[in-house]
């Protein structure tokens, strides 16, 4: 392995020398202990038409110039003309007008770093202030189309625009932190400052990995007990440890002097909103202990949501008919019936659906095919059916009429009977084959003449 590595290095050196020889050696090489063309102190240049004119400078590539002390220019058409400046890429400048900027760095293409310790990384960028950093790419090559960071001690990131997408401000003290601006903002006034572009809504989108049952997206404010939650299951939720306060005035309905932030005066026991011709209304009435909210024409066709005090349930009904949907205090829902018989959802009537999915069934019956499964004999099964008029394990007509049956349980029982029937068929097939073989053996053999 060592010999191969040495051979590869030799190949690289030979290739480099052949390349320089074939293109003409117009660069200088000058370092301590070796022949010096310009007499500079430990400067070197390699490539084509490169210049290392600063002390301890280095230039490499094509038409790259390292013109100041400790400067480095690597690539094509680069200029490092400030002390300790670095350019790596193409068409880069690391200097200011009087070449006094200290240690600017430009990496990429068509960048200019002219501030002390300024850094550009990408293309079509400028960093003109002390310790300013610009990352990404501007809109185009001309100076007026570049992304320019002229704010000292800051970070600017943007792509395909003269404006930044992300800006990080300077920390005012050593033990403090700066602010972040999103959008064309270089002076954020909060820890996170969002500014939209012209014609664009200032939107914050908090998205969970998937939007399905149990998914939540939240903004926590102050601590985890304060915030706003977008819940797939519950909708929009507001969390607080104390109060919900609106500081800029009160809202009153039915009163000219609201005493609360939202004050509805139901002196007449009615809250009413309608359209011009009174064909669609939203009303709130109270019948003693039965407050109701009604949508539609109150006297004719309308839907009513009513709290039933005696049943402690929320009811939905159409016109004056009995309630069609009940939300009970135990969290259950009844459609057509208040009683849910201990279930979370009860429907009195037929249900039309594309699919019913049963999760986590109590039992399944693939154990029928286990060797340890005991399959009753045909005679015993026949006797059971004659005596009980139903298959073993299947509920009777009386039981079903009185208690109903569970879809998951019944499907499992039917599967069990199908699997048992399959075993009976397999056994029967084996018996038939055995009889056929026995019959064939007992057939008289014909004598060939």
For the entire predicted model, the pTM comes to 0.51
Which tokens is 74 given? 């690597």
How far apart, in whole angstroms, are the C-alpha atoms of residue 298 and residue 103?
80
Please write down the long-range contacts of 305-313, taking CB distance under 8 Å and 24 or more positions apart. 311/338, 313/338
Q: Say how far apart CA 170 and CA 186 lie, in whole Å.
A: 10
Cβ atoms 79, 94 nearer than 8 A: yes
Of 3.20.20.70, 2.150.10.10, 3.40.50.920, 3.40.30.10, which CATH number belongs to 2-194? Answer: 2.150.10.10
The backbone torsions φ and ψ at residue 437, rounded to the nearest 5 degrees and listed phi first, read -65, -40
**Spatial separation of the C-alpha atoms in residues 375 and 428, rounded to whole Å:** 13
Look up residue 201 and give its DSSP letter: -
Q: Supply the pLDDT for residue 365.
A: 77
Q: Which residues of the chain carry a pLDDT beneath 70? A: 1-41, 141-143, 246-247, 261, 266-311, 316-323, 445-449
pLDDT for res 23:
41
Collapsing DSSP to helix, strand or coil, 387 comes out as helix
CA quadruple 184, 187, 191, 195: dihedral sign: negative
- Interatomic CA distance for residues 273 and 284, integer angstroms: 9
Closest by CA to 57, choosing from 39, 44, 74, 38, is: 44
Residues listed for the chain:
449
Bin 201: left if φ > 0, else alpha if -120 < ψ < 50, else beta. Answer: beta
Q: What kind and span of H or E run contains 133?
A: strand 133-137
d(CA 192, CA 166): 10
Give the three-class secondary structure for 100: coil
CA angle 297, 301, 304 (to 5 degrees): 80
Q: Are 182 and 173 in contact (CB under 8 A)?
A: no
Under 8 Å between Cβ of 266 and 253: no
Residue whose token pair is 């003693």: 288
Q: CB-side exposure of 288: number of CA atoms within 13 Å?
A: 4
220 has which bridge partners? Answer: 227
Q: Considering only CA atoms, which of 216, 222, 218, 181 is closest in space to residue 202? A: 181
Residue 7 Cα to chain centre, angstroms: 51
pLDDT at 275: 56
Residues of the chain with CATH 2.150.10.10: 2-194
Are residues 183 and 194 in contact, defined by beta-carbon separation less than 8 angstroms? yes
Q: What confidence score (pLDDT) does residue 134 get?
A: 98
**Alpha-carbon gap, residue 98 to 120, rounded angstroms:** 19
């Amino acid at each position: 392995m060592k010999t191969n590595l040495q051979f590869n290095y030799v190949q690289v050196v030979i290739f480099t020398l052949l390349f320089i020889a074939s293109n003409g050696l117009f660069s200088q090489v000058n370092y301590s202990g070796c022949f010096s063309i310009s007499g500079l102190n430990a400067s070197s240049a390699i490539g084509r038409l490169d210049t290392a004119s600063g002390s301890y400078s280095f230039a490499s590539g094509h038409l790259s110039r390292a013109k100041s002390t400790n400067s480095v220019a690597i690539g094509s058409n680069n200029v490092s003309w400030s002390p300790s400046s670095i350019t790596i890429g193409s068409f880069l400048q690391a200097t200011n007008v009087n070449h006094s900027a200290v240690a600017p760095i430009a990496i990429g293409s068509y960048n200019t770093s002219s501030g002390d310790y300024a850094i550009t990384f990408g293309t079509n960028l400028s960093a003109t202030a002390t310790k300013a950093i610009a990352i990404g790419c501007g809109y185009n090559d001309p100076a007026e189309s570049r992304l320019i960071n002229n704010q000292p001690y800051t970070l600017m990131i943007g792509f395909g625009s003269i404006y930044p997408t992300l800006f990080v401000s300077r920390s005012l003290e050593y033990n403090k932190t700066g602010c972040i601006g999103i959008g064309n903002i270089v002076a954020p006034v909060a820890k996170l400052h969002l500014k939209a572009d012209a014609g664009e809504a200032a939107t914050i989108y908090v998205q969970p990995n998937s939007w399905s049952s149990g998914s939540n997206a939240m903004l926590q404010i102050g601590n985890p007990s304060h915030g706003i939650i977008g819940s797939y299951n519950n909708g929009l939720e507001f969390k607080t440890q104390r109060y919900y306060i609106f500081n800029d005035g009160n809202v009153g309905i039915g009163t000219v002097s609201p005493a609360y932030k939202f004050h509805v005066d139901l002196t007449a026991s009615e809250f009413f909103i309608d359209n011009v011709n009174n064909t669609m209304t939203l009303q709130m009435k109270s019948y003693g202990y039965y407050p109701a909210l009604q949508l539609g024409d109150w006297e004719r066709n309308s839907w009513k949501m009513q709290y039933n005090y005696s049943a402690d349930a929320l009811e939905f009904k159409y016109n004056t008919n009995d309630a069609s949907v009940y939300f009970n205090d135990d969290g259950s829902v009844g459609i057509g019936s208040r009683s849910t018989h201990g279930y979370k959802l009860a429907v009195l009537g037929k249900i039309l659906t594309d699919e019913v999915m049963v999760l986590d069934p109590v039992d399944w019956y693939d154990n029928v095919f286990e060797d340890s499964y005991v399959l009753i004999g045909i005679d015993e099964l026949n006797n059971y059916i004659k005596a009980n008029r139903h298959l073993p394990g299947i509920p009777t007509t009386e039981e079903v009429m009185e208690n109903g049956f569970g879809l998951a349980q019944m499907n499992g029982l039917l599967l069990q009977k199908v699997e048992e029937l399959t075993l009976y068929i397999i056994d029967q097939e084996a018996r038939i084959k055995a009889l056929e073989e026995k019959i064939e053996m007992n057939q008289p053999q014909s004598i060939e003449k």
